[in-house]
Amino acid sequence: MSTHGSGTRAGHGGELEHILISETREELLKADSKAGVMLTALGAALTTLLGTISAGGITPQEYAPVPQTLFWAGCAAWIPALVMFGLAVVPRAGKPQRSRAHYFGDAAGTSSVELFAELVRRTDPRERNLSQCIVLSRTVWLKYRCIRHGMIWSAVFLVLTPFGLLTGASV
């Protein structure tokens, strides 16, 4: 294998690192956006439901036991859905480390400009990029897992609650 070949490979590695970080950041933004939309829709659904109950449009407390159980079980599913979407959008700043210059938190935890300048000089950009890609990837994975769980709980809310209303209103 020639030196030129290995140099080319290293060049592709650096390019790939930047592509992976860029794509991971895009996925992070997509996950936050998806969770935000779902959180807004979930809030709107509950607001509509509470408004209808408050106005006397529906009276689930007067339904037979089975429709009432379906309705309240559906409403109870709203809580874990809210928690999951909330966990998906919560900021994750990570833990600052004073021995490196990888993230904004590392800079915030440094006591002086001179010390941080020294950390920046000692930081290997490739190591930093790989570290950032791993941390961001884990964050995206966690956000999407929360979104999936939130969607499942939302589906329970959006199926059981109206089903309880429909069967309760028809009795």
Select the more confidently predicted residue: 137 or 104.
137
Half-sphere exposure of 78 (CA within 13 A, CB side): 20
Tell me the backbone φ, ψ of residue 109, rounded to 5 degrees: -90, 0
Q: How far apart are CA 97 and CA 115, in angstroms?
A: 13
Q: Which residue has the higher pLDDT, 3 or 31?
A: 31
Decide if 133 contacts 21 (C-beta within 8 A): yes
Which run of H or E residues covers position 84? helix 65-89
The pLDDT tens digits of the residues spanning 146-157 come to 999 999 999 999
pLDDT at 171 (0 to 100): 61
pLDDT at 4: 41
Q: pLDDT grade, residue 101 (50/70/90)? A: confident
Residue with more model confidence, 77 or 116: 77
- pLDDT value for 34: 96
Average pLDDT, the chain: 88
List, for residues 16-61, the tens digit of each pLDDT value.
999 999 999 999 999 999 999 999 999 999 999 999 999 988 999 9
Report yes or no: 56 and 167 within 8 Å, Cβ to Cβ. no
- What is the C-alpha separation between 160 and 166, in angstroms, rounded? 10
Statement: residue 69 has pLDDT above 90: yes
Note the residue count of the chain.
Answer: 171
> What φ, ψ does residue 124 adopt, rounded to 5°?
-80, 120
Mean pLDDT, rounded, for 77-99 = 90
